[in-house]
Structure 1
Amino acid sequence: MMNIKPSAAIRKNYNEISELCKRSGEPVYLTKNGEGDLVVMDIETFARRESMLRLRENLVAAEEGRLNGKPGYSIDEVSAMMKAAVREVLDGQRK
């Protein structure tokens, strides 16, 4: 579900918006004069999204390298990289 609030809500209801972000794990979209203006999310959600983006970037780079003839990785190497990525995301959730 998309959470949308007017921008004035951040000044008036900071604690409520903060709690909504933390409870839902979703961003809150703020509007100004009826138009999209800002997106607010709690730091854990932000960190988790950043970790997932880095993982995706690394996977795309590896696939591009493979398609361009670069040497690949063994199953054990890929398994170790995936475990490290999962640990990074889980550690970000615990903070």
Structure 2
Amino acid sequence: MPTIKSSAELRNNYNEISRFCHNYSEPVFITKNGKGDLAVMSIEAYEEMNNLFELYGLIKEGMDDIANSNTRRFSEAISSIRSSRNR
């Protein structure tokens, strides 16, 4: 279940909310006038999420290559890597 706090709670209890974000590595949703306004998370959680997005992007590129038959045999790829290392 998501953690939801008001903007007043963020202003008045910043340290408590910051501690929560660092301890649980999940965002706290901040409301303003009863409506969702922000998602606050620790830098570590943000970087981890960004790293996952980058990984998912690379996996998608690979899946697209497979779908478009843009592949080569494993032995050819290894030979190419070995020859580029020996230059």
How does the TM-score come out when normalised to structure 2? Answer: 0.79
Map 1:6-85 to 2 at 5 A.
6-71=6-71, 74=74
State the identity %: 39
Q: Distance in 2 between matches of 1:11 and 1:36?
A: 16
List alignment gaps of at least 5 residues for structure 1. 78-95
Find the residue that maps to 1:36 and give its secondary structure: strand
Structure with the bigger RCO (C-alpha within 8 Å, sep 6+) is 1
Q: Distance in 1 between matches of 2:3 and 2:73?
A: 42
Find the residue that maps to 1:31 and give its secondary structure: strand
- Count, aligned residues: 75
Task: For residue 8 of structure 1, report the CA deviation from its aligned partner.
Answer: 1.2
Runs of 4+ in 1 over 3 A off after TM superposition: none
**Root-mean-square deviation over aligned CA pairs:** 1.6
Supply the AA of the counterpart residue of 1:49.
M
Supply the AA of the counterpart residue of 2:3.
N
Query: Which one has a bigger Cα radius of gyration?
Result: 2
- Write the deviation string for residues 66-94 of structure 1: whole angstroms up to 9, x where unpaired: 101101574xx8xxxxxxxxxxxxxxxxx
Task: For residue 15 of structure 1, report the CA deviation from its aligned partner.
Answer: 0.5
How does the TM-score come out when normalised to structure 1? Answer: 0.73
List alignment gaps of at least 5 residues for structure 2. 78-87
Supply the AA of the counterpart residue of 2:25.
G
